[in-house]
Amino acid sequence: MLRTESYGIFNYPVTELLNYTMLRLLLNWLLSALALLMVAYVVPGFHLSGLGAALWAVIVIGFVNATLGLFLKLITLPLTVLTLGIFWFIINALMLELASAFVPGFHITSFGAAFLGAIVLMLVNMLIKWLVRPAPRQY
């Protein structure tokens, strides 16, 4: 019998895999915005004007972290090893402050707020992603 549909990994149709991937990407984006809103609620000096600003801020933070943040983390790797990883929080705080300069409705008042926000954002993101992780497959 001739198959008319293309199959990807694990014998799922490619269109089904693409739909699943897009759904996971959208869910990740919304959960990251929710985490950013939680940080704005908890950390003094970390301000968001609403959900729209949070959604845009998550996109900008992701772009800044994927470009400049990655570059800075590679350059400062020896210092990060020397400080046992604490210096990455400083880089993340700088990336948050840089992103807040580009997004209207997203403001960070001080470096201390950005530093505390980076730590809280990491913890909240970890907790949310752990809660909604996919169930392990049973073989």
pLDDT in tens, 62-75: 999 899 888 988 99
In a domain, 137, yes or no: no
H/E/C letters for each residue in the chain? CCCCCCECHHHCEHHHHHHHHHHHHHHHHHHHHHHHHHHHHHCCCEEECCHHHHHHHHHHHHHHHHHHHHHHHHHCHHHHHHCCCCHHHHHHHHHHHHHHHHCCCEEECCHHHHHHHHHHHHHHHHHHHHHCCCCCCCC
In a domain, 5, yes or no: no
In a domain, 107, yes or no: yes
**Domain span including residue 66:** 12-130
Is this prediction's pTM over 0.85? no
Is 25's pLDDT higher than 90? no
Is 14's pLDDT higher than 80? no
For 15-26, what is the mean pLDDT? 72
In a domain, 7, yes or no: no
Q: What is the pLDDT of residue 11?
A: 56
99-129: per-residue pLDDT in tens?
Answer: 999 999 999 999 999 999 999 999 998 898 8
Q: What is the pLDDT of residue 132?
A: 78
Q: What is the pLDDT of residue 122?
A: 92
Count of structural domains within the chain: 1
Q: What is the pLDDT of residue 9?
A: 54
In a domain, 93, yes or no: yes
For 90-106, what is the mean pLDDT? 93
In a domain, 124, yes or no: yes
Q: What is the pLDDT of residue 104?
A: 92
In a domain, 118, yes or no: yes
Q: What is the pLDDT of residue 33?
A: 93
Is 40's pLDDT higher than 90? yes
Is 16's pLDDT higher than 70? no
In a domain, 35, yes or no: yes
